[in-house]
């Protein structure tokens, strides 16, 4: 059973976030809900505080009004000089760039200056003060002090422009041609005046720019046309004079550019084509000649294709057949045989001569092609020199020709544009118009009580959530029975409910039907089955700190086991601060300390109690050095002797932290039961105490959670008020009586 408890202790984790096998985190919503229920007062206080602050801000903040006007801006290309590649043109495929430019113009300091001047805002102290109020960056409702030198006219004007731009909002259009202009101010009338003035001055400035552009364009075109006319005449005269001097003659229309082409260029082009053909023929002839030079005998396609060689080879084949036939009948010296041999040799000579002639023909052909290529290359070189000389002489001519063409093009274009532009060109059509003029706003846009309160509620909820989970994270006290397993790593033997105020443990344990008594019955059962060998004979009950319930557990377990008929010896092992003799109203003149010092015996020191089968061994007088007394071998001999006389020996030990007594006693007993008080002990202290006991070699059989309030601990979501109820089967009591005896 101990292995099974240890396995369960290692495998269970009842934190808010449960680790899953796949490595993720699964939020335990039930635990979160019960944490919220537990901390509901904290959560409510934080949310209420944020709502109060939000309401106070809503009531104290200066109301801000927003006036809005809508204008329509149509795209229109108004280009004075339309020369491609010289002046930038609007891109019909990028309207967003155009509207961003309009937004920039609406928020420019130049337009703001026009509005300030028209409305006289620089002289209006209320405007500057009210705009400071509406400047959210300032933060305070009473504004900020004016900068040094603000009394001067220039500084006041700059201040007014800055304040106007801070509160002016221009929203660019989205899939439309409408631009929204808004202005925020504590004065609704002022907001209306500023917005309408911005729209009107934007239209006026747009018209002024168009008029100025058209007037400037006419003057500019007149001057440029006169200049280009003079330059055009000079360029034509200079070009004709230079062509005559250098004798540059070109055939009109012979080239794609219309300027003509020289005879040298035409001849060079024809010779280049001939050279390409000759080079191809030379390469072919060279390849054939190289193949003929590398081939031996008749292994050449040109030789094999020769009709003469084919005829000679045919005749030689016939003579070879006759020669072989003669050899079958005559000796090689026979005249007819020798005659055939001579004929065959003559044919071989003729074939070789013919093959040599074919090779010589291939060589001659290659040489002729090479000579032709060299001749053409030489002629081309000569023409190239002539062409280069002509090009050098034509540089100045081409420059003059290009200048003439440029001047003619510019002159024609400007003359055509001059005819199109009138004295008021472009002014008659305006691409900006007002769609909706601004009205005086009636409802402030800031603060909006509903939005402020909703934001305050959201902020309060977030802060409350963070605060609650921080408090839960910082709370290291043991609250639930499962934390004995998950946080301390001990098998859970049981949990003891917190007694109502005024109910003593000694009274509650005497009632076998009470929840307190049933809890220790459950612990007794767990101890009986915690070891395969059965109930241990000697055990130490201790805790990390005083007042955690270890003495109550010692007395209650002793009485519980005594009720089953077992002979139980209860030893007060806390010889520094004994308390068992007070609980049983027994004297403490002799006891554990006097036995360990050799002044008394076990038989003389034990005392009967009011519980049948339960015997008490007090601590006795306090020795000079309790640790030295407990460290001797007498303690082990005493417990061995007691275990031989009693069915169960329970030692009520001192706290572990700060003392060496409990680790010393733990080495002399079979098992140790660790008691932890719910809500009153920090996990770190309990873990340190358990580590000290383990270092001393103690066998910790399990843990008991004392003072467990199931109702307050129900936030864990596991229903402790039902799962740890020990009232099953009891008769119901009247409501008033049941309320006074229930576990708090």
- pLDDT tens digits, residue range 11-37? 344 445 444 444 444 566 777 777 787
Overall pTM surpassing 0.75 (yes/no)? no
- pLDDT tens digits, residue range 628-639? 889 889 999 999
**CA–CA separation, 119 vs 124, rounded Å?**
9
Assigned token pair, 338: 């020798």
Assigned token pair, 37: 């229920």
Residue (of 180, 172, 166, 168) closest to 68 by Cα position? 180
Query: If you search the block for the tokens 């390409």, which residue do you land on?
Result: 276
Q: How confident is the model at residue 713 (pLDDT cuts 50, 70, 90)?
A: low
Cα 217–Cα 221–Cα 227 angle in degrees, nearest 5: 150
Percent pLDDT > 70 in the chain is: 77
Q: 239: Cβ–Cβ under 8 A, 6 or more apart, which residues? A: 397, 400, 401, 404
Strands 178-185 and 168-171: antiparallel
List, as one string, the DSSP characters of 653-666. PPPSTT-SHHHHHH
Q: What is the pLDDT of residue 536?
A: 93
C-beta of residue 183 within 8 angstroms of C-beta of residue 66: yes
CA torsion angle 502 503 505 507 (round to 10): 130
Please state the separation of Cα 666 from the chain's center in Å.
54
Q: What is the mean pLDDT of residues 390-415?
A: 77
Please state the separation of Cα 658 from the chain's center in Å.
49
Residue 18 parent element (H or E): strand 17-19
C-beta of residue 553 within 8 angstroms of C-beta of residue 600: no
Q: Residue 447: is the preceding peptide bond cis (ω within 30°)?
A: yes
**CA–CA separation, 231 vs 228, rounded Å?**
5
**CA–CA separation, 557 vs 553, rounded Å?**
6
List, as one string, the DSSP characters of 436-450. E------S-SBS-HH
- pLDDT tens digits, residue range 254-311? 444 545 566 667 677 777 888 788 888 878 877 777 766 666 555 566 666 677 777 8
Count of other CB atoms within 10 angstroms of residue 126? 11
């Amino acid at each position: 059973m101990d292995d099974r408890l240890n396995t369960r202790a290692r495998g269970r984790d009842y934190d808010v976030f449960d680790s899953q096998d796949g490595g993720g985190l699964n939020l335990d919503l039930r635990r979160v809900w019960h944490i919220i229920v537990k901390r509901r007062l904290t959560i409510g206080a934080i949310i209420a505080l944020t709502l109060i602050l939000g309401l106070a801000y809503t009531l104290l903040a200066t109301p801000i009004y927003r006036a809005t006007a809508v204008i329509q801006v149509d795209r229109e290309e108004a280009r004075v000089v339309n020369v491609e590649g010289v002046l930038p043109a609007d891109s019909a495929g990028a309207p967003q760039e155009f509207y961003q430019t309009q937004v920039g113009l609406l928020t420019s300091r130049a337009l703001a200056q026009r509005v300030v001047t028209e409305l006289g805002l620089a002289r209006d102290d209320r405007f500057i003060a009210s705009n400071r109020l509406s400047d959210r960056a300032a933060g305070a409702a009473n504004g900020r002090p004016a900068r040094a030198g603000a009394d001067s006219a220039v500084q006041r004007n700059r201040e007014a422009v800055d304040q106007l731009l801070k509160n002016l909002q221009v929203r660019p259009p989205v899939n439309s041609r409408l631009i929204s202009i808004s202005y925020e101010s504590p004065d609704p009338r002022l907001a209306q005046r500023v917005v309408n003035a911005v729209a009107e001055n934007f239209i006026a400035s747009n018209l002024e720019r168009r008029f100025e552009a058209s007037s400037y364009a006419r003057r500019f075109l007149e001057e440029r046309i006169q200049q280009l006319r003079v330059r055009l005449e000079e360029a034509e005269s200079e070009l004709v004079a230079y062509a005559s001097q250098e004798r540059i003659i070109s055939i009109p229309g012979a080239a794609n550019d219309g300027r003509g082409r020289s005879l040298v260029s035409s001849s060079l082009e024809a010779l280049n084509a001939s050279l390409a053909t000759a080079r191809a023929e030379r390469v072919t002839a060279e390849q054939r000649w190289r193949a003929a030079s590398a081939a031996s005998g008749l292994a050449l396609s040109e030789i094999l294709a020769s009709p003469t060689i084919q005829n000679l080879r045919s005749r030689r084949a016939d003579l070879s057949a006759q020669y072989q036939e003669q050899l079958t009948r005559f000796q090689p010296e026979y005249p007819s045989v020798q005659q055939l041999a001579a004929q065959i040799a003559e044919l071989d000579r003729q074939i070789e001569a013919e093959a040599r002639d074919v090779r010589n023909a291939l060589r001659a052909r290659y040489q002729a092609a090479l000579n032709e290529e060299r001749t053409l290359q030489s002629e081309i070189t000569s023409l190239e020199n002539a062409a280069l000389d002509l090009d050098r002489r034509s540089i100045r001519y081409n420059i003059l020709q290009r200048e003439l063409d440029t001047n003619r093009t510019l002159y024609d274009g400007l003359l055509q544009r001059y005819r199109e532009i009138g004295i008021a060109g472009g002014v008659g059509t305006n691409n900006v118009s007002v769609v909706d003029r601004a009205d005086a706003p009636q409802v402030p846009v800031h603060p909006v009580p509903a939005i402020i309160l909703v934001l305050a509620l959201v902020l309060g909820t977030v802060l409350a959530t963070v605060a609650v989970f921080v408090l839960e994270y910082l709370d290291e006290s043991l609250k639930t029975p499962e934390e004995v397993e998950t946080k301390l790593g001990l098998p859970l033997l049981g949990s003891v409910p917190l007694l109502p105020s005024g109910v003593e443990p000694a009274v509650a344990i005497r009632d076998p039907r009470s929840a307190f008594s049933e809890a220790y019955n459950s612990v007794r059962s767990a101890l009986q089955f915690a070891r395969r060998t059965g109930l241990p004979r000697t055990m130490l009950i201790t805790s990390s700190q005083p007042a955690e319930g270890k003495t109550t557990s010692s007395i209650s377990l002793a009485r519980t086991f005594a009720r089953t008929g077992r002979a139980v010896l209860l030893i007060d092992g806390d010889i520094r601060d004994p308390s068992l003799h007070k609980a049983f109203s027994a004297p403490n003149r002799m006891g554990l300390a006097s036995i360990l010092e050799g002044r008394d015996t076990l038989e003389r020191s034990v005392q009967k109690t009011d519980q049948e089968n339960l015997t008490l061994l007090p601590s006795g007088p306090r020795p000079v050095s309790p640790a030295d007394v407990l460290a001797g071998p007498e303690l082990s001999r005493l417990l061995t002797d007691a275990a031989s006389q009693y069915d169960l020996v329970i030692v009520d030990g001192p706290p572990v932290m700060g003392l060496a007594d409990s680790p010393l006693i733990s080495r002399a007993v079979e098992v140790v039961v660790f008691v932890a008080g719910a809500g009153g002990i920090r996990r770190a202290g309990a873990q340190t105490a358990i580590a000290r006991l383990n270092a001393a070699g103690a066998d910790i059989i399990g843990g008991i959670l004392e003072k467990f309030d199931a109702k307050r601990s129900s936030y864990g979501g596991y229903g402790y008020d039902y799962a740890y109820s020990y009232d099953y089967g009891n008769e119901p009591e009247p409501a008033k009586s049941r309320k006074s005896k229930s576990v708090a």
